[in-house]
């Protein structure tokens, strides 16, 4: 097994965690991880040795998730309401994380997507502000604002429980 594949395998727990924070669903997170791993393996020549593999993979994951959301949006626009109700892939089930704190998990899921992405990358995955801002393609000030707003919302949610 090559070094690239070993490092990629080592990132699996973090990839699954980030996928769950994006999809808010275990099955969708697993599907997203599979898509990302396939894409990373096919495009491994694009990764530059000496750069952080985790940031490269998280960027692929975020782009894949955006593509998936667009695909679902287009698909749901073409389905009649009755057809959409019959399609389980369009249902958004929020499943609690059995190993995490239930209240924190629910509070994180209640955050707006932009704040949730920023929080997951910085607080959960340990990326620096610069790395997260670059990955999200936003200025550092915007990332900082999202994190401040996310922290406030989390604190309010947790104090209310």
State the average pLDDT over residues 39-45: 93
pLDDT at residue 9 above 80?
yes
Looking at domain 96-161, which of 3.40.50.620, 2.60.40.1180, 3.40.50.12640, 1.10.10.10 is its CATH number? 1.10.10.10
Q: In this predicted structure, what is the pLDDT of residue 13?
A: 95
Largest Cα span, the chain: 51
pLDDT digits (tens, 9 = 90+) for 94-131: 444 443 467 777 888 899 999 999 999 998 888 999 99
- Provide the b/e sequence for 99-121 (b: ≥16 CB within 10 Å): eeeeeebbbbeebeebbbbbbbb
HSE-CB of 28 using CA atoms within 13 angstroms: 21
Domain 1-95, CATH class in plain words: mainly alpha
């Amino acid at each position: 097994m090559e070094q690239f594949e070993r490092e990629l395998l080592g990132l699996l727990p973090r990839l699954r965690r980030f996928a769950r924070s994006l999809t808010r669903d275990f099955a969708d997170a697993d599907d997203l991880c599979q898509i990302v791993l396939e894409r990373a393996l096919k495009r491994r020549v694009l990764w530059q040795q000496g750069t952080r593999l985790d940031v490269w993979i998280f960027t692929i994951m975020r782009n894949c998730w955006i593509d998936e959301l667009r695909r679902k949006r287009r698909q749901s626009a073409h389905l009649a309401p009755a057809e959409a109700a019959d399609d389980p892939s369009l249902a958004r089930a929020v499943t609690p994380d059995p190993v995490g704190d239930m209240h924190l998990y629910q509070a994180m899921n209640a955050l707006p997507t932009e704040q949730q992405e920023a929080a997951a990358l910085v607080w959960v995955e340990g990326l620096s502000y610069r790395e997260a801002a670059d990955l999200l393609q936003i200025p550092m000030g915007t990332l900082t604002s999202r994190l401040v707003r996310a922290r406030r919302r989390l604190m309010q949610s947790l104090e209310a429980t």
